[in-house]
Amino acid sequence: MANRPGRIKALIEKNLMDIVRSEIKDPKIGMVSVNEVEVNSDSTLAKVYVTFFASPHPHLAFEQLKKKEEEDLKKLSK
């Protein structure tokens, strides 16, 4: 259990990439890449860094992605 935070981080990153790849087909968002996931020391909070490709307005794409956040969190928790 020495590297538990690292395993949790990798699992969250993998699952988020799968959700992004299979579920997000919105042309307003474009292509999304999950760059990094940071997990706090007690694994109760994760910060996710993303990059948008082929999006003329990344700020608008980020807002669209945030709208889908609650639905994606439910999928991630299963």
Share in percent of the chain as helix, strand, coil (round to 5): 50, 20, 30
pLDDT for 27-43, tens place per residue?
777 788 889 999 988 88
pLDDT for 42-76, tens place per residue?
888 889 898 888 777 888 888 877 877 777 677 66
DSSP class of residue 1 equals -
More confident residue, 5 or 46: 46
| pLDDT attached to residue 31 | 84
For the entire predicted model, the pTM comes to: 0.73
